[in-house]
Amino acid sequence: MKIESTTLPGRHDHPPQPVSSARPAVARPARRVGLLDRAALHLGLALITWGRRPVRVGDREHAALAHETHQARLEAERVRTQNEAFYLTRIL
């Protein structure tokens, strides 16, 4: 069974806006951005980009962290092997 639904031709406003001809459109002059506003915008952008910069880690700190990570992995491997051996005897 093939069902096709069609929409009615015409203009669809989403959301529907009432047409008001009683009030004419008033043209307002564009607001100028002041020097203080512009400076605040540039300062805010500079602070955001400065705060998101990558953190550089020194070579000594990087080596120390790598050594600590390696030692932690070895310890975790040792504990895992010990637990597997302990539970293996329970199963059998």
Mean pLDDT of the chain: 80
pTM: 0.35
CB within 8 Å of 65: residues ≥ 6 apart: 57
Tell me how far apart the alpha carbons of residues 19 and 12 are, in angstroms, rounded to a whole number: 14
Tell me how far apart the alpha carbons of residues 58 and 66 are, in angstroms, rounded to a whole number: 12
- pLDDT at residue 71, rounded to an integer: 93
List C-alpha distances in Å: 10 to 4, 7, 13, 23, 33: 19, 9, 10, 26, 42
Average pLDDT of the residues in 34-47: 95
- The type of residue at 4 is E
- pLDDT at residue 12, rounded to an integer: 64
Average pLDDT of the residues in 26-50: 90
Q: Give the tens place of pLDDT for each residue, 71-85.
A: 999 999 999 999 888
